[in-house]
Amino acid sequence: MSKGAATRQTILTHAAGLASQVGLTGLTIGGLADDLRLSKSGLFAHFRSKEALQVEVLEHAAARFTDQVVRPALQKRRGVPRMRALFERWLAWEQAEVLPGGCVFVAAASELDDRPGPVRDALVTLQRQWVDVLARSFRYGIEERQFRADADPEQFAQDLYGIMLAYHHHARLLADPLAERRARRAFRRLLEDARR
């Protein structure tokens, strides 16, 4: 990796962690320059605008998410083992120290849902891809006859999303120490329903 590319990665990793706390719209090129002791003009050379920076932060986080959650989970056997791996790794991602405010996509979702533009478009594309991974993985489980033939993969994906969003809400905002245990219980119940 060239020095320029390495600096870029450092900036994006820091920016993603910050965005998990203050939101994407809370990021400023000046603030990042201060945090990282870089010149503001140097940061502008990497990202020509705040919007470009925001889009790159989302794409950077999505690449990490693919590395840490999607790719390893897709190496598990189809059906229950793969769905469990997707859930467990998603939960670990949500709790990772590099994202002190939790999942940057969760933070961005309600922040951007009413702000049309390229940043929202990038977020929607990434979120649809993830929902599709969940639904497709579930569909493979139906094909393998591990899940009921009449189960709805998109329903499963939305329900699983809800478990994770409620976990985020109860753990992060309400500081509820039982939030994780309940999320795991809800996931087990969701899988059981699909297998019945």
CA atoms within 13 A on the CB side of 141: 28
Query: Nearest to residue 161, comparing CAs of 112, 99, 91, 60?
Result: 91
Q: Whole-number minimum distance, CB 182 to its own copies, in Å?
A: 5
Smaller CB separation from its own copies, 68 or 127: 127
The yes or no reply on residue 179 touching its own copies (CB under 8 A) is yes
Q: Which of residues 23-42 bind its own copies (CB under 8 A)?
A: 23, 25-26
Of 67 and 113, CB closest to its own copies:
113
Query: Phi-psi bin for 102: left (phi > 0), alpha (psi -120 to 50), beta?
Result: left
Size of the residue set binding its own copies (CB under 8 A): 50
Which contacts (CB < 8 Å, 24+ apart) does range 130-134 have?
Answer: 130/65, 130/70, 130/105, 131/157, 131/158, 131/161, 132/157, 133/70, 133/86, 134/86, 134/160, 134/161
The residue range among 80-88, 90-98, 138-146, 151-159 that interacts with its own copies, by the rule CB under 8 A, is 151-159
Please tell me the distance from the alpha carbon of residue 22 to that of residue 91, in angstroms, as a whole number.
21
- Contacts of its own copies in 4-23 (CB under 8 A): 20-23
Site string for its own copies, 107-146 (x = CB under 8 A): x-xxxxxxx-------xx--xx--x---------------
Q: How far is the CB of 138 from its own copies (least distance, A)?
A: 13
Q: How far is CA 64 from the centre of its chain?
A: 9
Q: Report the interface residues with its own copies, using CB under 8 A.
A: 20-23, 25-26, 100-102, 106-107, 109-115, 123-124, 127-128, 131, 152, 154-155, 158-159, 161-170, 172-175, 178-179, 182-183, 185-186, 189, 193
